């Protein structure tokens, strides 16, 4: 999968637009057969603590439409950083299992980057001890 960031204004109220493109065009995309494009805005940004954003897929499919709330919380835990991801208000056409798998893949990739020494905008308090522990995906909050 590749990621294209079309716009990204990292401040409360700031907007963003992102596309995720899959290698194989097997119909798994929500915007096209190979791509998920979504846009949203930041509700809350507390450096090294919490990010809350509202996202929405760009799609004509009513089963994939609707605003989703994503909350990411960073907590000091056992000499490292616990990442708690919560994804609420998933549209009915998004499988909870697929959504959780996507989160776990993304967090695994992020952990590898941070543990390799890439401290993106001071994302982790302790980049040498980054770990994710908790994840919750739901249709409502």
pLDDT tens track, the chain, 141 positions: 778 899 999 999 999 999 988 776 555 778 888 888 999 999 999 988 999 999 999 999 999 999 999 999 988 877 777 888 888 999 999 888 888 887 887 777 777 777 777 655 554 444 444 444 455 555 655
Domain that holds residue 72: 2-137
What pLDDT shows up at residue 42? 97
Q: How far, in Å, CA of 89 to CA of 65, rounded?
A: 10
Q: How far, in Å, CA of 5 to CA of 99, rounded?
A: 20
* Whole-prediction pTM: 0.79
What pLDDT shows up at residue 139? 61
User: Residue 114's domain is classified under what CATH number?
Assistant: 3.30.530.20
What pLDDT shows up at residue 137? 55
Number of domains in the chain: 1
What pLDDT shows up at residue 82? 82
Strand partners for 51: 45, 72
- Please tell me what DSSP assigns to residue 140: -
Give CA 129 to chain center in angstroms.
Answer: 21
Cα 100 to Cα 77, 97, 134: the distances in Å are 22, 5, 11
């Amino acid at each position: 999968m590749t990621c294209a960031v079309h716009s990204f204004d990292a401040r409360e109220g700031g907007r963003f637009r992102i596309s995720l493109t899959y290698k194989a065009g097997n119909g798994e995309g929500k915007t096209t057969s190979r791509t998920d494009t979504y846009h949203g805005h930041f509700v809350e940004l507390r450096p090294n603590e919490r990010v809350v954003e509202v996202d929405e897929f760009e799609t004509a499919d009513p089963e994939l439409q609707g605003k989703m709330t994503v909350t990411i919380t960073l907590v000091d835990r056992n000499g490292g950083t616990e990442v708690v991801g919560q994804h609420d208000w998933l549209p009915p056409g998004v499988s909870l299992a697929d959504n959780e798998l996507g989160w776990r893949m993304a967090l695994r990739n992020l952990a590898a980057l941070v543990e390799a020494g890439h401290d993106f905008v001071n994302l982790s308090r302790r980049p040498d001890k980054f770990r994710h522990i908790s994840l919750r995906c739901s249709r409502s909050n």
